[in-house]
Each structure stands twice: as structure tokens, then as C-alpha cells.
Amino acid sequence: MSEPRDGVIQVAWRGADRFDVRIRRHVVRADRPPDVGGSDTGPTPAELFVGSVAAGVACCAERYLRQRQLPAGVGVTARYGLGVCPGRIDRIELSVDAPGLPEGLRASLLSVLEHCAVCTTLRVPPRVTFEVRRSVPENPVAQASRPTPPRT
């Protein structure tokens, strides 16, 4: 299956600071640590964001190796910092482990990684818009997971 060009991701509140993030047929839980009022049942939204950057880089690196018939097994470590004013992630440092990469291809791989879709999105930010609705449209997936009230 190819990656869709446009997509819809739905997020549903599951109590306290817990949210289910529905992406195609997958569900990822987002939460916050207990020291800030969450119950730590999943990564924070900031951690998911940095994780998506690291995963995007890992996918690009692995595809690069596969296209050149080099040994697979890429790993990525992401370190990030949270800025205060304004509150945001102010740095992301990515270390890519590519054990089968010949030294002569290091610069080539770095060039490819600089242009991965997620990293490019950070450099050329998308237009972000907001719409606030008073009611949530019915979602068959969310509705199916909602308990049925007892009949009286």
C-alpha cells in the first residue's frame, strides 16, 4: 500500500489527559506523565512529534540502504529540547546508526536524510488552520467503542 497523499487523523478524549490518536486502522495513545496531571499510558504529544521525525528519518535511511543493496538495520536516536518562550520543541538532534553503510556513501545518505518528507515539513512549515465546533460529528469508529447505556 502506498502512502496516501492526503489523510485524516482523528483524536478522541479518553478521560483525564488521555487521547486516542486514530491513524488509518491504527490507534496510538497520547497522555502526559503523572507529575503534570497525566497517567502516563502513552507518550506525550511532543514525544510523538519527535518520534515521527525520527521514524521518518529511519524510513528514508532504510530505503536508501535497500535501494543500494546494502545491509539493513538502521537505528535512529532522537534527542530534543523543550523551549520555554514560546513553549515549543526548540531543537531536535538525530543520530543515525547505519552499520552497513560504506564511509564513501555517508555524505550521500546525509543529503537524502536532509530531504525526508518530515524534515522538509519542519523547514517549510505547512499552513495550519483551526476550526472550533460545538458538537462532534458522529464517527462510526468512536461510536462503536462507546459503551451502550443500560435500558431502563
Give the pTM.
0.83
Contacts of 20 (CB under 8 A, 6+ apart): 11, 12, 14, 27, 28, 29, 30
Query: Considering the chain, what percentage of its residues have pLDDT values greater than 70?
Result: 88
142 SS3 class: helix
How many beta carbons lie within 10 A of that of residue 109, not counting itself? 20
Contacts of 31 (CB under 8 A, 6+ apart): 16, 17, 18, 19, 38, 39, 40, 41, 42, 43, 44
E strand or H helix that includes residue 40: none
CB-CB contact of 68 with 105 (8 Å): yes
60 SS3 class: helix
Among the ranges given (30-44, 94-108, 136-150), the one the predictor scored with the smallest mean pLDDT: 136-150
Q: Is residue 87 very low, low, confident or very high in pLDDT (cuts 50, 70, 90)?
A: confident
pLDDT, greater one: 127 or 86: 127
The DSSP output letter for 3 is P
Q: Is residue 84 very low, low, confident or very high in pLDDT (cuts 50, 70, 90)?
A: confident
User: pLDDT for 34-43, tens place per residue?
Assistant: 999 999 999 9
> What pLDDT, on a 0 to 100 scale, did the predictor assign at position 148?
46
Contacts of 150 (CB under 8 A, 6+ apart): none
